[in-house]
Chain A
């Protein structure tokens, strides 16, 4: 049994070391001496950037917690029209990359957009631009919120559906009102899930470059890019990244401290699904309208606009090359997401069973890659792979550089970057089941591995699939890493869409964007269907 636990430990240590390597190269450079650029950054840039970043994450974090958890609660606990559809439909906004969403909403609202054009051409009304301007801080908050809240929604829903049953049903029997249940029971017990979701949202926001660049908001990420590219100073850029990393680690540690020793796990012998209560009368339509409203602004409106643009350009944007691009995209996303999921499960399981240092350190390591801007990670990874290649080359194992020109480097980068996404989902799955079932299984003579496959996997199946889907979709949308690390002639849908969008040819970006959305939507639906049927 000991040796069995060791296998898991060894594997997870191996994974953690792998993940650490690229971050290490950044950490090493973090302590380098400061130069005059650094003084310039401190004097003119840092304050604004920190303030803007903090405003963004506070607002987006707060509202995504509210929207995500309330939707998750409604759908887990009640039955109303189209509930079955909303269960997965409300994850769909995640399929739209925020920068595409940002371009799209700007496209709808701006002077040549559908609203103003219709007003002008049909009714001869010219509006004050100010009221239609989305390219500002509130606009950016709106964009991040509507395209990222599904992180909170998915993780919280997976938790509520299986875990809140006894508490919620007891409360119902005692006649507690649903608002009261939401605030007094759901929010406290689902806190870990909500926080897990919100932390993903915040990390995505901190890492975003596309939205904030286009909307002209100076954040930490724009500062990193400005320093690196504008001042040509990678050293100072890495210093900024390091500061960002520290900030994020601080946030995570703070959250853990606040949560304290509370570990919500239940010892009921069977996990029962929460039975949704049928809503009647006006509350039925209220619930429906709320879900429909969110779905409309977060998916239908931007998607319809993209379809319209696709119609304008389909004759020039579509070719057989495209099929290969689609193949590339799906393949790398699938392979990387599968590996990420397995690694997350292994690390999550060992951290759960081990109460020592591993339990404290490993989960934080998984998030490292997620806390550094993609482009900076890319540089760390290129350096790493080239040094490995040099060794291979010098030992005569290959006649030229192999790894750094291959797709392996790209997939590895995805793993470093998106492990956190799957890990958060899987960790909250593990937290939900606690270790009582595993302990029972161990007492009955099963070893860790056997208990894992016989007991744990079945209990956290939803969380594992959830983690896989989130990672898969993130990789479909991923940009900076793909742009810089892909092999020759290797295009993905995201790079394709981005190239058009940056050239201010948003109409041409519509077709690849729609394909990203459709593939993500299909995978969301597929996994949802599989889960539901079981």
Chain B
């Protein structure tokens, strides 16, 4: 009798799980396992971006084309790891917020080349992989922000200059675990060589006003609070703060000025959010369609205004907030370099004890 109870409870539980899968595919009718066999009107997307605007754009795409967008979000590296293991049965698209990671996906042979006139026209070559395996969709500049009262912008010049002793105890920047910092250093390894890049990192560590902590917004707040005078951060965070629901954040952002470094030398460091069609994509056609859609003028405009990122499409103007900061000269390197130099950058950070 009791033995039976024991077994029935297992039975019930295993049914529960089975029901769960059944449930999942029946009432949502978009379980990939089911649809891969039957329909073509879908595209499977792995993304590390998680902005509300992205979801809204996928919905627009669905309405316009009737192609359903299936999404899995996760960190870029975890998704790469997952794609590697999934082999032939994987996502159709890989979308992430750093060129270094896109390059890593390419290196692991997870992506394929795409030849599309629309994309060639909408996206500048510099922001695209040399073999057309991935395409940039939004740009973000990593700039220096300064306190308007305490720093005269004429004191600022280049990233390299941040290692100068005049900035001792004045710089705020987040931890070396952050991919934006890794890509920044990776670009210096390319432009200045490993030794100089390391010397720079060492110098910045010496000049830090406090040990790295928090995110980009926290660096901005630190400058406003007087912990330091300048901070290194991505532009769209400042855009977000200027347009925040929290009026204290707006106040902080208003005290800060934006400086685009290296205008007379190598240019300001720029990274992209980009997307690539996977090597084994079963819905390649839909995948390309989605990428083309995301690069179109109308969509680029929405990207730019909702997220304060710079559009890649040269025909689209940046959001009003960004326009006030003016135009700037960008680093002139192929963004794949960021991925190639990433492990070296991580090692340098560890060697100079950049927390």
Please list the residues of chain A having a beta carbon within 8 angstroms of any beta carbon in chain B: 4, 7, 11, 37, 40, 44-45, 106, 110-112, 116-117, 126, 129, 135-136, 213-216, 218, 222, 225-226, 228-234, 312-313, 316, 331-332, 335, 338-339, 342, 375, 378-379, 382-383, 386, 389, 398-402, 404-408, 411, 447, 449-450, 452-454, 480, 483-484, 486-491, 495, 499-500, 502-505, 507
Contacts and interface: CB of A to CB of B under 8 A. Distances in A.
A44 B351 contact: yes
A136 B217 CA distance: 17
B85 A401 contact: no
B89 A401 contact: yes
Judged by DSSP, the binding face of B is helix
Contacts of B257: none
A234 B84 CA distance: 12
A369 B6 CA distance: 25
B177 A230 contact: yes
Interface string B212-232: 111111100110111100000
Interface string B303-326: 000000000000000000000000
12 contacts: A7-B6, A135-B213, A225-B177, A335-B17, A338-B16, A342-B10, A399-B36, A400-B32, A483-B78, A489-B71, A499-B73, A504-B216
B16 A406 contact: no
B5 A453 contact: yes
B50 A230 contact: no
B24 A342 contact: no
A488 B35 CA distance: 12
B151 interface: no
B32 A405 contact: yes
Contacts of B215: 214, 504
A483 B46 CA distance: 11
Nearest to A404: B86
Interface string B168-195: 0000001101000010000000000000
Given A136-B211, A216-B175, A331-B20, 12 more contacts: A40-B347, A44-B353, A110-B221, A129-B225, A232-B342, A313-B245, A449-B2, A454-B2, A487-B32, A489-B72, A495-B73, A507-B244
Given A40-B350, A406-B33, A507-B245, A484 B74 contact: yes
B227 A129 contact: yes
Interface stretch (B152-160, B246-254, B286-294): B246-254
A116 B227 CA distance: 14
A108 to B, nearest CB: 12
B21 A400 contact: no
Contact of B104 (A111, A135, A232, A234): A232
A312 B33 contact: no
Contact of A216 (B33, B86, B214, B227): B214
Given A110-B221, A117-B248, A218 B1 contact: no
B87 A489 contact: no
Interface in B336-355: 342-343, 346-347, 350-351, 353, 355
A382 B17 contact: no
B24 A406 contact: yes
Contacts of A383: 85
Contacts of B20: 331-332, 335, 407-408, 411
Contact of B24 (A229, A407, A503): A407
A378 B84 CA distance: 13
Nearest to B349: A230
B70 to A, nearest CB: 4
B148 interface: no
A230 B213 contact: no
A450 B1 contact: yes
B177 A222 contact: yes
Contact of A342 (B9, B81, B222, B237): B9
B165 interface: no
B77 A129 contact: no
Contact of B224 (A111, A406, A454): A111
Contacts of A502: 50
Contacts of B89: 389, 400-401, 404-405
Among B78, B79, B218, B244: residue with most chain A CB under 10 A: B78
A488 B31 contact: yes
A44 B350 contact: yes
Given A379-B81, A449-B3, A400 B346 contact: no
B63 to A, nearest CB: 16
B338 to A, nearest CB: 13
B307 to A, nearest CB: 10
Contacts of B218: 106, 110, 135
A37 B342 CA distance: 13
B343 to A, nearest CB: 5
Given A7-B3, A386-B87, A488-B71, A111 B225 contact: yes
Nearest to B1: A450
Nearest to A107: B246
A504 B240 contact: yes
A449 B226 CA distance: 68
A7 B6 CA distance: 10
Interface string B57-88: 00000000000001111110111011001110
Nearest to B282: A400
B74 A342 contact: no
A214 B214 contact: yes
A503 B51 contact: yes
Contacts of B237: 504
Among A389, A454, A487: residue with most chain B CB under 10 A: A487
B86 A399 contact: no
A136 B213 contact: yes
A312 B77 CA distance: 33
Contacts of A218: 355
B132 interface: no
A483 B73 contact: yes
Contacts of A215: 213-214
